[in-house]
A and B are shown apart, each in its own frame.
Chain A
Amino acid sequence: MKHYWLKMEAIFLVLVLIIPGNTLARVYEYELDNGLKLLVKEDHRAPVVVTQVWYKVGGSYEYDGVTGISHALEHMMFKGTEKFPPGEFSRIISENGGRDNAFTGPDYTSYFQTLEKTRLPISFELEADRMRHLKLSNEEFIKEIEVVKEERRWRTEDNPQSFLYETAKATAFQTSPYRFPVVGWMQDLSSMTINDLSSWYKKWYAPNNATVVVVGDVDPNYVYALAYEYFSPLPAGEPIKINEHKEVPQQGTKRITVKRPAELPSIMMAYKTPVIKPQDKHQTEYDWEPYALEVLAGILDGGNSARIASRLVRGNEVAAGASASYQIASRLDNLFTLSGIPAEGKSIQELEVAFRNEILDLQTHLVSNEELQRVKAQVISADVYEKDSVFYQAMIIGILETVGLSWDLADAYVDRIKSVTNEQVLAVAKKYLIDDRLTVADLYPLSTKDKSSKIRSTIKGNTRAH
C-alpha cells in the first residue's frame, strides 16, 4: 500500500504546516496583592464574556468522614450573603440574560457566569461578595443537603455504570484521596453539619486560593481594572498547607465484583498512571510519558477508526461498546481506564481478555506511523475546533491552573503530542499498563424485575436523614 502511505504522509504535512498554533490566543496573567490570580483571554467572535472562579478545593482535599463537603458547599454558595439574600445571585444573573452554575471535581470547585460582555462587572461584584461573605444558614442547609442526597441517588445509586466507576476508584486507590467520590458517601452527607461547612468555607474560600478566568470580547486591561476594584478589598486568607496523601505502591492486581440492579454486565480496568508534573519541580527525563500515554489512548479510542472500534467492536465483535480514557492533567497521579459492555453472547471475561490482548500488542509491537499520524492529526484539528467555545477555552485554563500546572501548557500541548514517537508509546505501555498497577471491576447485574434486588444499604441511607 505504498500509494496510500504517501497520501497519508502528504495529509499530515499539510496539517502540520498550515494550521496556525495557539499564537493568536494569548493569555494575560495578573496577580492582586491579596494573592488572587486573574487570567484573561480575548475572543472577539461574539459580544459575550464568560467568567469562571476556580478554587483549589474539591473531593481530593477531603478525608474520611467529610467526603462530599466541597460539593455540598458549592450548593450552599447560592444561598446568599449579608448583601444578597438566598436566590438573589441566580436571579440577578438571570435578569441580566446570563447563565450561571457551578461544578465540583476532585481537584477544584468552579463557579461560572456567561453574560453579554458589558455585564462583566455584575459577575465580579457577586463573585467577590460570596468569596468572603457567605452567610451559611442552618435552615437552608437542612433543605439543601437533601437536594445533594437526591443528586447522589440520581447520579450514582441508580446508575450502574457510575456506581461501578465509584467502586473501581475506591478500590484502586488505597491512600490517595482520589478514592473519595466527589458527591460524597451517603453516610457522610447524613452526618455533615453547618459548622463543618463553615470551617471548610473559611479555610478554602480566599483570594489567595482562587483563580479568576475571563474569556470573551473584552480588553484585558479593563478586566484587570475591574478585578482590582472588586476583588482587591478582600483580605487574604491564612496560607494553606496541603497534606499530600500520596498513593502507596500497589502490590498486585485488585479485583472487585459489584452487584447492582442492571440489565447488562460491564467491566472497567483501571491502571495507575502518572500525570503531567509542574515544570518548576519534579522535572525529570520522563516528562514525555504523559504525552505518550495520551497518544496511546488515542491509538485505542481516538475515533471510529481507532483500535477499540475497529478490533473489539467490529473485528472480533467482543464489545457492544467500549472506551479508553486517560487523565493527563490532575493534581495527583490518576488512572488510565478501559471500560466496556460485552457484545451479545460474549462475557466480561472474554472482553477482559480482548482488552489485555490490546495492551499486550501495544507492549510488544510498535504502533504504525499511519496510526500515530492519525492521532496527531486529530489533536491538531481538535485544537482548532475547541476554540469554537469560549466556555471550553476558559475551562482548559482553569483546570491547568488549579491542578498546579500553568495555562501556557495548553500552548505547548500540541507540540508535545506531535513529538511523541512510536517507541515512546511502546515504552509507556510496558512501564505502566501492567498487572501490578491494575484494578479490575466487574458489574454483575441483579435482576431489575425482582423487587428484592433493591439495595438495602441504599434504603438505610435514605431514611437516616435528619
Chain B
Amino acid sequence: MRISTIFFFIIFYVNTALASPNIEYWTTGAGAEVYYVHAPELPMVDIQIVFDAGSSRDEDTLGIAMLTNSLLADGAGGDDADKISNDFESLGAIYATDISYDSASLQLRSLTESGLLKSAIINLKKVLSSPDFPTDALERRRSQMLIGIKAKQQSPAAIAKDAFMKATYQSHPYAKPSEGTETSVKAIKRKDIVSFYKKHYTAKNSMIAIVGAVSHELAKQISEDISAAFQDGEKASSIRAVEKLEEPQSIFIEYPSAQTHILVGQPGVKRGDSDYFPLYVGNHILGGGGMVSRLFEEIREKRGLSYSAYSYFSPMLFKGPFTAGLQTKTDQADEALSVLLENIKNYIAQGPTEEELIAAKKNITGGYPLRIDSNSKILNYVVVIGYYKLPLDYLETFNNNVEAVTIESIKDAFKRRLSPDKLVMVKVGVSSNKKSED
C-alpha cells in the first residue's frame, strides 16, 4: 500500500529557506525615496510613484484627491488626453492611476527595450510635472465622478460599505468616500485642483518603487530623472488620529435587493502596529483563511447561509477598519447576523485552539513563496514597505514574526483592540415588515 503523500508532507514538514527579494533603498537629489528590486527574468519593468495625496487629504473639498489624480494624463505639457494615451499605448506601455484614503499613485508598466522605456518615461514625466488640468477634461471627469456616485447607489454592497465607514470613523477623513458627494464634487473649482496638485505632488511627499529588468544604475537614473520633474514643496502635515468608538451603532438602510448585506466592525490596526502579527494570524483563523476559517465554516459550510463570510483587518496609515461581513436572503438576515456576532464575540473572549493556530501558521508560512512569485506581487509589497516605512527586511522576517505568535498574544491583542460591546453593525436590504409581501 502506498503511503499517503499528504500525511508524509504534514509529518515531515520542512520549512525551506527561501530567497526574499532584495530591496534596495535610496533618496534622490530632489528628496524622493526610492525602493528598487532587480527582477531580470522578463524584459519588463513596473514603476509606481506614490504621493501622500490620497482622499484623506480632501479636507472640505471631498473628491478633490481623486479628481486631481484622474486628471493628470488628461492634458499635460500642451498635449491632450488622446496624444498622451496614444504615446504610451503605441509603445505597448500601460499607464494607470490609483487612489486610496492614504495615497494617490501613478503606475507605468513598460517593456525594457531602451528606446521604448525611454519614450514611456519621457511621457510619464510630462504627466507628472506639467499637467494642464484643461477645463473640458475637468468637466468630463467631474461628470464621470457624479455617475460613479450614482453607480454606487445601485450596489447594496457599496451602500453598506459607505455607511460602515461613516459610522466607524465619524469625524476622521476615513469616514468620507473617496468619490466625494454630489454636492462636494459639483463645487470643486479648477484653482482648487491646481493648488492641491502643487501642494501634494512634491518630491518630499513621494516614494518611487521600481521592480523589473533594469540595472541598479538605470534604476538610479530613472528615479533621479522622474523625481526632478516633481513639484518643490514640503511634506504634508499630519492628519489627526482615529478616535475610539464610545458606543455600539446599528444602522439599517432600506434597499430593494434580494439579499441583505451585513457589515460589522470597528477601527482596527495601523501599518507597522506592534499588534499586527497577532491580529493578522488571529484573524486568519476567525475569518481570513479563505475556505478554511471559523466564519466560513459556521456560516457557509454548516448552515448554507451565505456565499461569502469573512473578516479582515485593513492596516492603514491610521487605524484601518476591522470588517466582518456576509450577504444572505432577507428572511434569514437576522439569523446570519447573530451567528456572525456570536462567533466574533466568542473568539475575542476565548481565542483560537492550539490546533487552529498550528494550522494557520502552516498555511501562512508554507504559502510564503506564493506571496512573492510575480513582479506584480513584489511591487505591491515594495510599495507598502516603502510608503508605510516598514522595515526593509519585512519580507525576510515575515515567517519568523508569524511563528512567534501564540494563543496568548492573539487573545491579548484581540481583547485590547476590539470591543464587542461597541461594534458598528450595518444592514442594507428590505426591512423585515416588508419581507413577507410574497
A interface residues with partner B (beta carbon < 8 Å) = 8, 10-12, 14-15, 18-20, 45-48, 78, 86-87, 90-92, 94-101, 114-119, 121-122, 125-126, 142-151, 153-154, 157-160, 261-264, 302-306, 309-310, 313-314, 317, 320-321, 341, 343-344, 370, 373-374, 377-378, 380-382, 384-385, 387-390, 445, 448, 450-451, 453-456, 458-460, 462-463
Residue of B115, B369, B374, B438 touching A116 (CB-CB under 8 A): B369
B16 contacts chain A at the CB level, 8 A cutoff? yes
For B309-352 the 0/1 string (1 means CB < 8 A from A) is 00000000000000000011111000000000000000000000
A-B contacts, 15 of them at CB < 8 A, read: A12-B90, A14-B116, A19-B113, A20-B43, A87-B301, A90-B291, A94-B359, A97-B369, A98-B363, A143-B304, A150-B259, A150-B304, A154-B308, A314-B81, A384-B44
Residue of B111, B153, B331 touching A263 (CB-CB under 8 A): B153
Top 7 A-B pairs ranked by shortest CB distance? Answer: A97-B366, A381-B92, A143-B304, A97-B367, A46-B373, A146-B304, A304-B85
- Residue numbers in A under 8 Å from B94 (CB-CB): 303, 385
B10 contacts chain A at the CB level, 8 A cutoff? yes
- Residue numbers in A under 8 Å from B135 (CB-CB): none
Known interface pairs A11-B91, A388-B42; A144-B304 also in contact (CB < 8 Å): yes
Query: CA–CA, A288 to B363, complex, Å?
Result: 47
Q: Return the chain B residue nearest A230 by Cβ.
A: B5
On whether the beta carbons of B140 and A314 are closer than 8 Å, the reply is yes
- Residue numbers in B under 8 Å from A387 (CB-CB): 42
Task: For the complex formed, measure the closest distance between the CB of A382 and the CB atoms of chain B, giving whole angstroms.
Answer: 8
Residue of B4, B42, B92, B366 touching A125 (CB-CB under 8 A): B4
- Residue numbers in A under 8 Å from B367 (CB-CB): 97-99, 116
Query: CA–CA, A321 to B108, complex, Å?
Result: 22
Residue of B81, B90, B156, B290 touching A377 (CB-CB under 8 A): B90
On whether the beta carbons of B90 and A370 are closer than 8 Å, the reply is yes
Residue of B43, B81, B374 touching A389 (CB-CB under 8 A): B374
On whether the beta carbons of A8 and B90 are closer than 8 Å, the reply is yes
On whether the beta carbons of A305 and B366 are closer than 8 Å, the reply is no
On whether the beta carbons of A310 and B258 are closer than 8 Å, the reply is no
Query: CA–CA, A387 to B329, complex, Å?
Result: 41
- Residue numbers in A under 8 Å from B376 (CB-CB): 388-389
On whether the beta carbons of A94 and B146 are closer than 8 Å, the reply is no
- Residue numbers in B under 8 Å from A262 (CB-CB): 154
Residue of A116, A117, A125, A158 touching B257 (CB-CB under 8 A): A158
B144 contacts chain A at the CB level, 8 A cutoff? yes
- Residue numbers in B under 8 Å from A92 (CB-CB): 6, 10
On whether the beta carbons of A320 and B144 are closer than 8 Å, the reply is yes
B126 contacts chain A at the CB level, 8 A cutoff? no
On whether the beta carbons of B92 and A15 are closer than 8 Å, the reply is yes
On whether the beta carbons of A344 and B151 are closer than 8 Å, the reply is no
Query: CA–CA, A15 to B297, complex, Å?
Result: 51
B155 contacts chain A at the CB level, 8 A cutoff? yes
B86 contacts chain A at the CB level, 8 A cutoff? yes
Query: CA–CA, A303 to B143, complex, Å?
Result: 20
Task: For the complex formed, measure the closest distance between the CB of A333 and the CB atoms of chain B, giving whole angstroms.
Answer: 30
B119 contacts chain A at the CB level, 8 A cutoff? yes
Query: CA–CA, A406 to B328, complex, Å?
Result: 41
- Residue numbers in A under 8 Å from B301 (CB-CB): 86-87, 143
- Residue numbers in A under 8 Å from B244 (CB-CB): none
Q: Return the chain B residue nearest A304 by Cβ.
A: B85
On whether the beta carbons of B154 and A263 are closer than 8 Å, the reply is yes
- Residue numbers in B under 8 Å from A11 (CB-CB): 90-91, 115-116, 119
Q: Return the chain B residue nearest A310 by Cβ.
A: B82
B interface residues with partner A (beta carbon < 8 Å) = 4-6, 9-10, 14, 16, 18, 41-44, 73, 81-82, 85-86, 88-95, 109, 111, 113, 115-116, 119, 137, 140, 143-144, 146-147, 150-151, 153-156, 254-259, 289-292, 297, 300-308, 327-331, 359, 362-370, 372-376, 430, 434, 437-438
On whether the beta carbons of A317 and B307 are closer than 8 Å, the reply is no
Residue of A86, A125, A150, A159 touching B6 (CB-CB under 8 A): A125
On whether the beta carbons of A150 and B329 are closer than 8 Å, the reply is yes
- Residue numbers in A under 8 Å from B113 (CB-CB): 14-15, 18-19
Query: CA–CA, A153 to B434, complex, Å?
Result: 18
Task: For the complex formed, measure the closest distance between the CB of A21 and the CB atoms of chain B, giving whole angstroms.
Answer: 12
- Residue numbers in A under 8 Å from B254 (CB-CB): 451
Known interface pairs A97-B366, A456-B438; A314-B42 also in contact (CB < 8 Å): no
On whether the beta carbons of A450 and B140 are closer than 8 Å, the reply is no
On whether the beta carbons of B366 and A98 are closer than 8 Å, the reply is yes
Query: CA–CA, A122 to B370, complex, Å?
Result: 16
Residue of B10, B115, B434 touching A451 (CB-CB under 8 A): B434
Query: CA–CA, A374 to B85, complex, Å?
Result: 11
Known contacts A90-B290, A454-B257; can you find 12 more A-B pairs with CB under 8 A?
A: A19-B111, A45-B41, A46-B372, A114-B370, A143-B304, A150-B328, A303-B88, A314-B81, A317-B143, A385-B94, A451-B256, A454-B437
Q: Return the chain B residue nearest A119 by Cβ.
A: B9
Task: For the complex formed, measure the closest distance between the CB of A25 and the CB atoms of chain B, giving whole angstroms.
Answer: 11
Query: CA–CA, A91 to B93, complex, Å?
Result: 41
Query: CA–CA, A18 to B44, complex, Å?
Result: 13
Quick one: which of A15, A306, A321 has the most chain B CB within 10 A? A15
Query: CA–CA, A97 to B10, complex, Å?
Result: 11
- Residue numbers in B under 8 Å from A451 (CB-CB): 254, 256, 430, 434
- Residue numbers in B under 8 Å from A19 (CB-CB): 43, 111, 113
Task: For the complex formed, measure the closest distance between the CB of A454 and the CB atoms of chain B, giving whole angstroms.
Answer: 4
On whether the beta carbons of B365 and A97 are closer than 8 Å, the reply is yes
Query: CA–CA, A154 to B291, complex, Å?
Result: 18
Residue of A264, A378, A385 touching B150 (CB-CB under 8 A): A264
